[in-house]
């Protein structure tokens, strides 16, 4: 990611479309704690959908990410990396919950079978 005060000189000269996350303030209204979810699934059929992440600390406090606006495609044994953000920071994570949604009202419900996942803090990489 790039610090917001340096985004223009890094992103504008590049003409190709890019995704970027910006390190934000530690105080409201601009605080956001960014994580990278690295997930490998083992469904035989391709699944396309959205993932919402909920993390809980040892005291039972929870924080939930917003659902990504762009659907991800999950294929058997392929890693997918998803940027997700939370409005509060949880320092010592006790539990991680994922919710998979296709955002369709019609049709069968699909499960996403997770083989491996890693949640890495981008604001605190040593965590």
> Is residue 100, in this structure, part of any structural domain at all?
yes
> Is residue 71, in this structure, part of any structural domain at all?
yes
Interval 9-15 mean pLDDT: 59
Q: How far apart are the first and last CA of the chain?
A: 17
Interval 71-79 mean pLDDT: 92
Give the confidence band of 24 by pLDDT, cuts at 50, 70, 90.
low
Handedness of CA 72, 77, 82, 88 (dihedral sign): positive
Give the confidence band of 12 by pLDDT, cuts at 50, 70, 90.
low
Residue with tokens 């991680």: 96
Q: What is the pTM of this model?
A: 0.71
Per-residue pLDDT at 54 exceeds 80: yes
Query: What pLDDT is recorded for position 9?
Result: 63
Q: How many domains does the chain have?
A: 1
Domain range for residue 52?
40-126
66 phi/psi in degrees, rounded to 5: -80, 150
> Is residue 77, in this structure, part of any structural domain at all?
yes
Query: What pLDDT is recorded for position 34?
Result: 86
> Is residue 78, in this structure, part of any structural domain at all?
yes
Interval 48-75 mean pLDDT: 90
> Is residue 15, in this structure, part of any structural domain at all?
no
Q: What CA–CA distance (Å, rounded) separates 68 from 13? A: 27
> Is residue 35, in this structure, part of any structural domain at all?
no
Per-residue pLDDT at 62 exceeds 60: yes
> Is residue 101, in this structure, part of any structural domain at all?
yes
Which position has the higher pLDDT, 22 or 45?
45
Interval 41-68 mean pLDDT: 91
Per-residue pLDDT at 25 exceeds 80: no
> Is residue 117, in this structure, part of any structural domain at all?
yes
Torsion (CA) 64, 68, 72, 77 in degrees, nearest 10: -20
């Amino acid at each position: 990611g790039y610090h917001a005060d340096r985004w223009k000189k890094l992103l504008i000269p590049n003409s190709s479309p890019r995704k970027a996350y910006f390190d934000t303030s530690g105080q409201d209204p601009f605080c956001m704690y960014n994580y990278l979810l690295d997930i490998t699934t083992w469904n035989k059929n391709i699944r396309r959908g959205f993932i919402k992440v909920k993390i809980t600390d040892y005291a039972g406090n929870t924080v939930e990410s917003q659902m990504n606006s762009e659907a991800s495609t999950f294929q058997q044994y392929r890693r997918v990396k998803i940027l997700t953000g939370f409005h509060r920071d949880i320092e010592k994570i006790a539990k991680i919950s994922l919710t998979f949604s296709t955002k369709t009202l019609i049709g069968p419900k699909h499960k996403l079978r997770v083989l491996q996942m890693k949640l890495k803090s981008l604001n605190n990489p040593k965590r």
